[in-house]
Chain A
Amino acid sequence: MPAPLPKPLRIDAEVADNACEGGANHRLRLGVPGWPGFEPGQFVMLSPGAIGAAPRTDPLLPRPMAVYRASGDEVEILYKRSGRGTALLAEARPGERVRLVGPLGRPFAPPLPGERALLVGGGTGVASLYELARRLASGARHASGARSEPQASGAHRAGEVSILLGARTASDLMGRADFVAFGARVRVATEDGSAGERGLVTDLLEAELARGGPARVYACGPTPMMRRCADLAAARGAAACASLENHMACGFGVCLGCAVPVRSGGFALVCRDGPVFATGDVVWEGLP
């Protein structure tokens, strides 16, 4: 039943815009002629500075980045400047080129009819959830016969999708305004209380799950956060999946570097078998 995934491409994409959005948060827009579209949860590999006769070799490896959203041939990435790779990416100016390989990986599966979707994003993990949220919110409105533009009543119907965003502090929050813009129900938690409620985003999830009824949890963020989401969902009998992050050299299943242990035995690859996994399939205690 799932539609075939878009065929990935390898292209030297042109930077249209690459702006700091406060703190370490950045928003990159890339022109990608021939972009085949993507499914929620898919990612791309980006190599800044690697193009030309004498390609930069240090840092060597591309960086996996969730596709935040895309429109036509323009692809948007939200990222946090945190290491040498993302620092290099942050230096890419409009008109420069960045090698892109993607879209890659297996996407989120939609909720079953009657299930509430609970999207839990921690830090940069939010970037993996935007497209899922947008499609679910749009689908909820369509299903109920409402017009697609956000409106007061639309927000209510889109409430079948709850978006829970967490960060250490307000300046680390990503994408909040974008989620609000399509009328989704958004709740925020920060560890220092500088935005939303003080506490962890998993506290918000716990409260949502306590309302009862069929629910499906979609988690992306730091491993301890996702593991906590898995435990909370399991305790309530809710379905849950998580989009895992890992170091990888290729993104398309040949370096075998991004292995994670799975309950069925052996290892799965985050790039090829994920990045989305049912939380019950992952041996969380085996993650580094």
Chain B
Amino acid sequence: MSGAAAPAAVDTRVDLAGIALRNPVLTASGTFGYGLELAPFLDLRRIGGLVTKSLTLLPRSGNPPPRIAEAPSGMLNAISLENVGVEAFVAEKLPALPDGVTVIASVFETEVERYAEVCKRLTGVARIAGLEINASCPHVKSGGIEFGQDPKLLGSLVRAARRATTLPLLVKLSPNVTHVEEMARVCEGEGADGLTLINSVQALEVDVERRRPVLSNVLGGLSGPAIRPIALRMVWQTSRAVRIPICGVGGIATAEDAVKFLLCGATAVQVGTQNYLDPAVAGAIADGITAYAARHAFPRVRDLIGALELPAP
């Protein structure tokens, strides 16, 4: 914010699947609440936008403790998509956000029809700029991973969501697959406007003294810097496989991390676990990307997208 790098000279705007963002930094679903929780620490208008906690048709309670575990440069979580439900979100949470904050609603459910119903209820709600289908939550037995891991299920889900909404539609993909490009092509074929990747990586941690899993749910999702190179690889592979834009997420902690995702083909990025450690970090990352563009003489941040220079074959 010092202005030393003359960031005003850089055009920071990007278009993500038809969603106009003032800069490419979003906050990832499940790491930013409904936005207001972070407002004491960060002017929400400094970031491109936020993705809400995943919303279900009815309010949902989470798993018993322990729900989180620390891991090397990362953490496991098994919260199980606790949320207030779509009605309470629209009635209570959304109106409390300051004007000028771009909101993307994350949608989760256990059946295709219910996913579509949540999408319908969010469509036409003022303030919601787009939807992100959470097809990849790795710790809910009756949904999540099955959708993201099975191309047929995933295709039927995206088709139903596409019919249910006119809003820009992103699909958040699971990393827990062999060929993420195959899943990406399925989404593109069914009318998704963009892709978000990656969700957390399915993982297990053990309390060796007690000879028990640390998490009550046994399995959890690994996030944080530990997964960043995996996320970067998948974003790069996917960006070469589809034409729709990609929002890159996974272990981003600094502006340099975010720039790597842009270079590898992401149109925007999401900051996740790092919000827990530093609730102001998304703003600093947005400023840092601008400073990087200025330092490297890119007049527009969007010129960084896919600007990775590969070695000659």
Contact = CB atoms under 8 A, between A and B. Distances in A.
Contact of B79 (A57, A253, A257, A260): A257
A125 interface: no
B41 A8 contact: yes
B64 interface: yes
A173 B288 CA distance: 46
A129 B278 CA distance: 27
A288 B41 contact: no
B110 interface: no
A255 B70 contact: no
A252 B253 contact: no
Interface stretch (B197-205, B269-277, B300-308): B269-277
B198 to A, nearest CB: 18
Contacts of B61: 266-267
Contact of A61 (B31, B276, B279): B276
B85 interface: no
B65 A47 contact: no
A9 interface: yes
B56 interface: no
A55 B254 contact: yes
Interface string A54-85: 11011111100000000000000000000000
B66 A288 contact: yes
Contacts of A47: 277-278
Contact of A247 (B38, B68, B225): B68
Given A60-B73, A256-B79, A10 B280 contact: yes
Nearest to B31: A254
Interface string B246-289: 00000001101000000000000000010111111000000000
Contacts of B38: 252, 254
Given A9-B41, A260-B65, A286-B64, A255 B276 contact: yes
Contacts of B73: 57-58, 60
Interface in A20-57: 47, 50, 53-55, 57
Nearest to B68: A257
B276 A250 contact: yes
Q: What band does the interface of chain A fall in when counting residues whose beta carbon is under 8 Å from B?
A: 35 or more
Nearest to B78: A257
Contacts of A55: 253-254
Contact of A57 (B32, B82, B253): B253
Interface string B27-41: 000111100011011
Q: Is the interface of A mostly helix, strand, loop or mixed?
A: loop
Contacts, number: 115
B67 interface: yes
A230 B116 CA distance: 47
A7, A259, A260, A266: residue with the most chain B Cβ atoms closer than 10 Å: A259
Interface in B213-259: 216, 224-226, 253-254, 256
Interface string B50-63: 00010000000111
Contacts of B277: 47, 50, 60-62, 99, 249-250
Contacts of A10: 41, 278-280
A57 B254 CA distance: 12
B74 A256 contact: no
Contact of B62 (A249, A253, A256): A256
B236 to A, nearest CB: 22
A60 B225 contact: yes
A169 interface: no
Interface in A232-288: 246-250, 252-261, 266-267, 286-288
A220 interface: no
Contacts of A58: 72-73
A7 B41 CA distance: 9
A101 interface: yes
B70 A61 contact: yes
B77 interface: yes
A247 B61 CA distance: 19
A61 B273 CA distance: 9
Nearest to B255: A53
Contacts of B278: 10, 47, 50, 99, 101
Nearest to A250: B276
B75 interface: yes
A101 B279 contact: yes
A258 B31 CA distance: 14
A246 B65 contact: yes
A284 to B, nearest CB: 13
Could you say which of A8, A58, A260 has the most chain B C-beta atoms within 10 Å of its C-beta?
A: A58
A186 B216 CA distance: 40
B66 A247 contact: yes
Contacts of B225: 57, 60
A102 to B, nearest CB: 10
A267 B62 contact: yes
Given A62-B277, A254-B276, 8 more contacts: A10-B280, A50-B277, A53-B256, A57-B226, A60-B74, A246-B65, A249-B77, A287-B65
- Of all A-B residue pairs in the complex, the 7 with the closest CB atoms, nearest first, are A257-B68, A250-B276, A57-B73, A249-B276, A254-B33, A57-B225, A10-B41
Interface of B: 30-33, 37-38, 40-41, 53, 61-75, 77, 79, 82, 216, 224-226, 253-254, 256, 273, 275-280
9 contacts: A9-B41, A10-B279, A10-B280, A53-B256, A58-B73, A61-B70, A99-B278, A252-B37, A252-B279
